[in-house]
Chain A
Amino acid sequence: SQKIEQNSEALNIQEGKTATLTCNYTNYSPAYLQWYRQDPGRGPVFLLLIRENEKEKRKERLKVTFDTTLKQSLFHITASQPADSATYLCALDGGGFKTIFGAGTRLFVKA
């Protein structure tokens, strides 16, 4: 079955630095991959989508890469701010209309 792995350990970085989060997947070749942000006690909010034929996608301070050979996506936040502190979820095409979510990585940005 499809499996998504995100680092379960929290990532702690200093304000102004670049945060890099990793999403690895196995047993599947997804047509797309998405990243969401989730704050405690709230629903996830969509950030970016990248398709299998795209290597990189940018949106303001966010950048996503998608390496279908390595079966990996990297999510970067440049010039990080304390307001970026949240859990970031990776999600991929599960076939049909299904989307499979990873458990997420918690990011803490210290001022």
Chain B
Amino acid sequence: DGGITQSPKYLFRKEGQNVTLSCEQNLNHDAMYWYRQDPGQGLRLIYYSQIVNDFQKGDIAEGYSVSREKKESFPLTVTSAQKNPTAFYLCASSIGVMGTEAFFGQGTRLTVV
């Protein structure tokens, strides 16, 4: 089945540690995105990539980093520089044409302990 897979579903991190969230898609989509969702707020764009080996900052990129070495993979690293990392993280992909639907993964809930 085609889809987008995020792992792990739940993640706990100690303050001061970096952590990497995985996102893999087998939809052959060119574009991939990372969003952060906090209670009562809309999804906020962290980073997006329109093609392999290229990515752009979204609205809240500070404290995060990404890579796009393969078309199907777009991992997100939450660094210790992110001041408030506890949130629900969502990865999405699309065919890359403006206005087309985004397919979302099931999300990773990150908690800093």
Contact = CB atoms under 8 A, between A and B. Distances in A.
B96 A97 contact: yes
A34 to B, nearest CB: 7
A64 interface: no
Interface in A32-68: 32, 34, 41-46, 49, 51
Contact of A101 (B43, B50, B109): B43
A74 interface: no
Contacts of A99: 45, 102
B11 to A, nearest CB: 14
Interface in B26-63: 31, 35, 40-45, 48, 50, 58
A96 B100 CA distance: 12
Given A4-B42, A43-B105, A32 B90 contact: no
A100 B59 CA distance: 10
A101 B42 contact: yes
Contact of B101 (A34, A102, A104): A34
B98 A93 contact: yes
Interface in B50-96: 50, 58, 90, 92, 96
Contact of A32 (B42, B99, B109): B99
A41 B98 contact: no
A49 B94 CA distance: 14
Contact of B43 (A31, A46, A89, A97): A89
Closest 4 CB pairs of A and B: A43-B104, A46-B101, A101-B43, A101-B42
15 contacts: A8-B40, A32-B98, A43-B106, A43-B107, A49-B99, A49-B100, A49-B101, A93-B98, A94-B45, A98-B48, A98-B58, A99-B102, A100-B45, A101-B42, A103-B42
Interface of A: 4, 8, 31-32, 34, 41-46, 49, 51, 89, 93-94, 96-104
Interface of B: 6, 31, 35, 40-45, 48, 50, 58, 90, 92, 96, 98-107, 109
